[in-house]
Structure 1
């Protein structure tokens, strides 16, 4: 894990700019989630993202990052993260993971959700619900004075008793002027001593949870991560500010995978 002095503490002025970037990222994500309808291609969703970013006076934090070719990451069903929008048509029963990262006024807003397209199997509904719940369990540990390990461990502690597994190869991260800052934020309790959380730290917390095995592999495009057993995976993410009190969601949006919404 990162040493304490490497984690960037944001100034009040930087935090204000992060709030703006986070709000824009959340608005764009919610619009894309509404557009995720049967018959549309993932490429059309990605193009809509580009249009919305232009309207909001921001740009993609992902496009060109280490060569990534998309405006957003769009991953379907067994695809975990880093999917590339293209000709694949969205079908009833799909689950669509949409990850939006934007740059506005030099700062990053980063968030993700999983969208159920029409009716999905009960076990997949349970996966989405548990994954979103695990995100909020981790956010509840995003408090000054706690160790990062407590936050990270909250994700696996929630989903494992329900029969689900966390992806260990890909993790959350600090975020600010750069997309990936220290510290890394895994979805399991890391070994060893981890940093104590302090006001002004900003973390992208993003559970990636699988219905089956936690094992994953990367497709030949060099980006798209899929579950090795081809079972569905869910992904939810918020950018979160550590404060002197309650954690602040910088990418606030209404919860999306509650029992009432999913009908379970």
Structure 2
């Protein structure tokens, strides 16, 4: 039986002793559908804004001793003390893509070398990926009463996370915090899936993955550390969005996609496409 679920968002700084896995979750694209209704009206099926991605990176507790050192070593190679303007550098996809702030030309003149080093570092880190991709145009046009996009993607992600945690193990989740209201709403969405199950998975199956849902900012309160699990989720969610939007396989996408559950045949397992 599922224990009472927490209804207030919490942050976390240390891995709980009784948790075996964490899945860090991030999104890319927007989950709203008002713009999709305009796309359908104009038969604009090629609009790049039709895509929504929700990615989860799964980490094992046993890997926690090596991962922070790999990330910190890379950051210190390119930024003094791994910091920019007195704050720990965060691998943030949009800033990297637009070469802004810590990733500007003045900070990283040889960006190709940085990307190569980043991919080599990612290759050293043990993790698995589950990602949900929704073609909102097709989802809305095919259904008279379509599921809410974020809730649908989250339920599919939680299903697959539960499949990858053995019955005698415990998993928790980490989201990037935004504000109290948004975090509380997201927590309620996850709790609803845990309490009611889905069409394919009953509620008892989620016992293994509801053992903590946390919301952390990009950095610790003193700005001297970042939450690398969220950084990797951001990197792959954005890279996946670009893959579907622009048919663009970035270096990051190519090196990380090998970690999709079920790779080289991840369809329906590590990669679920709704179209």
Please indicate the TM-score interval, normalised by the length of the shorter structure.
0.3 to 0.5
Q: TM-score, normalised by structure 1?
A: 0.33
Greater fraction helix? 2
Q: TM-score, normalised by structure 2?
A: 0.32
The structure whose RCO (Cα within 8 Å, separation 6+) is larger is 2
Larger radius of gyration: 2
Greater fraction strand? 1
